[in-house]
Structure 1
Amino acid sequence: MTTGTTGVPPTDATRPDDGPSLFGPDSQFHTFFDDPRWALGLIRATVLEAAHPQVGAALADNSTFVTHPWRRLRNTFLSMRRMFSADPAVREREAARLNRLHARMSGSDSRGRAYDAMDRATRAWVVATLFESAVTMCRLSGQPLDQDTMERMYAEYRAYLAALDGDADELPGDVNDFWPYFDRVVENELENTEAARIILYRLFDHLPAPALLDGLPTLWAAGRAVAGPVLGAITVASLPEPYRRRTGLPEMPGAQALMQGAYLAAGLARFLPEGWINAESVIELLSLSPGSDDPRARTVAALRGRMKRASSLLRLLTPLGDDPAPAPATRAGEDRRSAAEFFRQVLDQTGDGHLDWPDLAAMARELSTRLDLDEPEETRLYDAFAAWWRELQAALDTDGDGRVSADEYAAAVPSLAGPALIRVAEVLFDATDRDGNGTIDADEYRALFRTAFHRDLATTDGTCGRSAFVSDFLSFMSARRTSTPYDPLLADA
């Protein structure tokens, strides 16, 4: 007997013989979800994942973690919540979605080595880094896990892998056998990959502001200039010593003490009243934009006003010119981006300086995630974006290298509203119109944009027809309009 499509025996995957469910609120994982230490541990785990050649290559080719890190954080958070849900149907649905997403990621790295995001051993390593980093964060914060708790948490992570792969055979069956496995991979397989270097030395130094702080470049740059190097130093110091030694990662003097202090300080959160720190609320707050219909938007707007005054004062005292000043805000739809701005902010989703299929696939992935699409709607959306990529490639790839550069895009000054882009808009409308009544109501619209209508709902019935929706989408994508609902969806970090 199995649970749905995953083929996982219920006794092995969801409930140990002598304890409560491995998923849901009774899980050890659940107790860590709102733990500030997990922020440090997750960064560490991400570097260890990216150091694996297969994961590093997949991240470099397909991920938006450099250009859209806050979006990536929000989506990862939501996925983990679903995968550790107490409801088996929620877990199976999310596992199926992740498997469809990973099945679309394969290729070869810069050395010609093939990678496949569905490789079972590689997926096991990703889960292994999460478990090992959770154990390490507890140890570094002076609260090491006892053996029983560690064994239970290891069973939870093996159940997580089983939910994805149908079994957890790629990970050792016993936690005592896990440590030799982990050490072996660190010693023999991890490399100083481009993706790992980007996380350690580029992401922190160039981290874009979240929506909450958008428009405050001076204030954000000042804080980032201090926090970026510190986070990088803490992360490097926390990595396994054999990996640091073999890859030649530099370690700042005093980095070990700094790292220990950071974990100890984060561990003090256990003394706060329960519920004071909620990861979901923090991520939602960071994602709030001034036009959001969230009740907290007024407070955010007042806070932004004060922060802008502080930012202006800071600019007078210590001018920082790294970040360009934002364009002045006007009414929705009146500002236009330059071709270079639009290419960088919208089209180049992966941030590699070129437009190719992974960039459009990232758009399809984000839209599918927002709408929580199942098959076949998800495949229809990907197919529509694939057709649009073929159209763009034929029109703009003048040197025939299989991708479109920023110069090729700017030189063509294209009108992108061809038949394939219109088809994307129509498929997106159908996916958003969940009840199939031919119009998108306020709830359906917010499911996609998670912000208020740009129309005045007080004077309309709050619905959006097909032609208006398609027109708005084409206006954004081909006329490079700003201040539309699509900015938080495709342009924001």
Structure 2
Amino acid sequence: MGPDSRFRALFDDPRWALAIVRATVLEAAHPQIGAALLDSSTFVTHPWRRLRNTLLSLQRMFGPDDHVRQREAARLNRLHARLNGTDARHRPYDALDPAVRAWVVATLFESAVTMCRMSGQPLDQEATEQLYAEFQAYLAALGDDGGHLPPTLHEFWSYYDRVVEEELENTEAMRIILYKLFDHLPAPPLLHGLPTLWAAGRAVAGPVIGAVTVASLPEPFRRRAGLPELPGTRTLMQGAYLAVGLARLLPEGWVSAEGITDLLALSPGSDDPRARTVAALRDRMKRAGALIRLLTPLPPEPEPAADDGTRRSAEEFFAEVLDQTGNGYLDWPDLAAMARELSGRLDLDEPEETRLYDAFADWWRELQSALDTDGDGRISAHEYAAAVPSLAGPALIKVAEVLFDATDKDGDQTIDAEEYRTLFHTAFLRDPAGTQVAYTRSAFVKDFLSFMSGRRRSTAYDPLLADA
């Protein structure tokens, strides 16, 4: 492990983008993982946030600092300990199941090997064994016993084929990734305000990515899952891997994962020196979008509300903020996703992390008691809209106070500029809008309640909890 590992080099290999989609599909096809994704994940509604968090986690795990690696492993274990339940067929799932975690690592390793083979540059035996050893070390860093991944590379392939043929299923989570995620993928911050251009590009890229991914899956699973392979898709798949691989010939640093994520998250109003270039790029994109609208008219966009732009309806707030998992309901996994995002941004350890989760759990019980009128254990958009949207009881106030304490690292009862950045930075931006020198407890609680009760938009909280 470390910056010189083979796995670390994958981060900046453009082919890895296709391989990680393939690995995610194979993970989601496992019944336990598919159930956990469907119940608790935000990968459909907040894919760019999920991408950023995954990249950050891998950077920590494969970086040079062993202390950082140990803290990240402990954080991942706490996160996985909270992901358990039963699927639609009443089968239990548990994200700490060592066999399940071994399968996640197995899909990443096998997809990396397949990625190289499909692009005409297969790894030799020595390189493959080294990469496998690094993935085994990754699993060991999480504290899992080595027995759940075969000890040798030769034994791995038999294990992999057995799981593919006997355990994987055509799960709903897998179908969402293949056929829904890319069709509804929201624009990254760089392309906000350019819906026509984004929709046109997505309409072309979405089906291609889905077809390439299906063609790259193991044939026994494709047959058993009933996944159609259209004529010519294998040629398309190989061409896609070869074409994406050519990006490696660009000057060093142009295709770094962090640089690309940084660029996608960049907005013209940031303090980044590239903001002027992005602003000019957006202007050209708007012109291209106007041309596309002339050539292929789309349905007219809704007129903006006649107010100052800071208010939103109860339905908008429910969909954009409360329903983090995108299933159309508000339940505990949605608030747990908020707690998870806030804990990750603040890099909380115990007991602060559990204190924040407990505060959100109390708020969920308060919301459920007040709004769940039909007693089904969850809150629909209609139930929320029919109630008082500005509901802000004692439990939500407690969430605000706990979050303030977690952000106020030095305990001086004010949030300084650096502490503010830690909570509100958007992806890799250095300075979020509205950075304050001294943010008092009362002001923080007031702003948090104003946002979380659905009364007003917020330039700080919207990128934190509402943006994709």
- TM-score, scaled to structure 1: 0.91
- Per the alignment, residue 293 of structure 1 pairs with 271
Is this contact kept in 2: 1:329–1:483, CA < 8 A? no
Which deviates more from structure 2 when the two are superposed, residues 273-282 or residues 77-86?
273-282
The amino acid of 1:407's aligned partner reads H
- Per the alignment, residue 219 of structure 2 pairs with 241
Q: How far 1:475 moved relative to its partner?
A: 1.1
In structure 2, the CA distance between the partners of 1:330 and 1:130, relative to structure 1 (3 Å rule), is farther
Q: How far 1:453 moved relative to its partner?
A: 5.3
Structure 1 position 341 matched with structure 2 position 316? yes
The amino acid of 2:260's aligned partner reads V
Matches within 5 A, 1:308-327: 308-321=286-299, 324-325=301-302, 327=304
In structure 2, the CA distance between the partners of 1:417 and 1:401, relative to structure 1 (3 Å rule), is same
Q: Distance in 2 between matches of 1:54 and 1:250?
A: 24
- Per the alignment, residue 230 of structure 2 pairs with 252
Q: Distance in 1 between matches of 2:305 and 2:371?
A: 31
Q: Distance in 1 between matches of 2:306 and 2:34?
A: 38
Which deviates more from structure 2 when the two are superposed, residues 439-448 or residues 346-355?
439-448
Structure 1 position 284 matched with structure 2 position 262? yes
- Per the alignment, residue 193 of structure 1 pairs with 171
Which deviates more from structure 2 when the two are superposed, residues 109-118 or residues 264-273?
264-273
In structure 2, the CA distance between the partners of 1:330 and 1:177, relative to structure 1 (3 Å rule), is farther
Q: Distance in 1 between matches of 2:350 and 2:448?
A: 23
Q: Between Structure 1 and Structure 2, how many residues are aligned?
A: 464
The amino acid of 2:124's aligned partner reads D
Is this contact kept in 1: 2:317–2:454, CA < 8 A? no
- TM-score, scaled to structure 2: 0.96
In structure 2, the CA distance between the partners of 1:256 and 1:329, relative to structure 1 (3 Å rule), is farther
- Per the alignment, residue 366 of structure 1 pairs with 341
Q: Distance in 2 between matches of 1:237 and 1:135?
A: 16
Structure 1 position 306 matched with structure 2 position 284? yes
Q: Distance in 1 between matches of 2:57 and 2:329?
A: 28
Is this contact kept in 2: 1:131–1:157, CA < 8 A? yes
Q: Distance in 1 between matches of 2:441 and 2:409?
A: 13
User: What are the superposed Cα offsets for residues 198-224 of structure 1, whole Å, 9 maximum, x if unpaired?
Assistant: 000000111111111112111110000
Q: Distance in 1 between matches of 2:416 and 2:70?
A: 29
Q: Distance in 2 between matches of 1:325 and 1:307?
A: 21
Mind listing any 5+ residue stretches in structure 1 that lack a counterpart? 1-22
- Per the alignment, residue 118 of structure 2 pairs with 140
Structure 1 position 203 matched with structure 2 position 181? yes
User: What are the superposed Cα offsets for residues 265-324 of structure 1, whole Å, 9 maximum, x if unpaired?
Assistant: 1222333332221110111211223443333333323322332232233223312239x5
- Per the alignment, residue 375 of structure 1 pairs with 350
User: What are the superposed Cα offsets for residues 240-272 of structure 1, whole Å, 9 maximum, x if unpaired?
Assistant: 000000011011221000000011112223333
Q: Distance in 1 between matches of 2:435 and 2:110?
A: 51
- Per the alignment, residue 34 of structure 1 pairs with 12
Q: Distance in 2 between matches of 1:151 and 1:47?
A: 24
Percent identity of equivalent pairs: 75
Partner residue of 1:409 out of 374, 384, 395: 384
Which deviates more from structure 2 when the two are superposed, residues 463-472 or residues 161-170?
161-170
Partner residue of 1:439 out of 414, 418, 428: 414
User: What are the superposed Cα offsets for residues 411-458 of structure 1, whole Å, 9 maximum, x if unpaired?
Assistant: 11332211111111111111111111111111111111115454486x
Which deviates more from structure 2 when the two are superposed, residues 390-399 or residues 24-33?
24-33
Which deviates more from structure 2 when the two are superposed, residues 437-446 or residues 42-51?
437-446
Structure 1 position 88 matched with structure 2 position 63? no
Q: Distance in 2 between matches of 1:291 and 1:219?
A: 21
In structure 2, the CA distance between the partners of 1:480 and 1:297, relative to structure 1 (3 Å rule), is farther
The amino acid of 1:410's aligned partner reads A
Is this contact kept in 1: 2:170–2:225, CA < 8 A? yes
Which deviates more from structure 2 when the two are superposed, residues 466-475 or residues 155-164?
466-475
- Per the alignment, residue 449 of structure 1 pairs with 424
Q: Distance in 1 between matches of 2:303 and 2:338?
A: 23
Q: How far 1:328 moved relative to its partner?
A: 7.2
User: What are the superposed Cα offsets for residues 306-350 of structure 1, whole Å, 9 maximum, x if unpaired?
Assistant: 32232233223312239x55847987xx52111111111100000
Q: Distance in 2 between matches of 1:411 and 1:447?
A: 36
Q: Distance in 2 between matches of 1:329 and 1:64?
A: 31
Mind listing any 5+ residue stretches in structure 2 that lack a counterpart? none
Partner residue of 1:266 out of 233, 239, 244: 244
In structure 2, the CA distance between the partners of 1:487 and 1:467, relative to structure 1 (3 Å rule), is same
User: What are the superposed Cα offsets for residues 152-210 of structure 1, whole Å, 9 maximum, x if unpaired?
Assistant: 00000000001113432200000010000000000000000000000000001111111
- Per the alignment, residue 352 of structure 1 pairs with 327
- Per the alignment, residue 82 of structure 2 pairs with 104
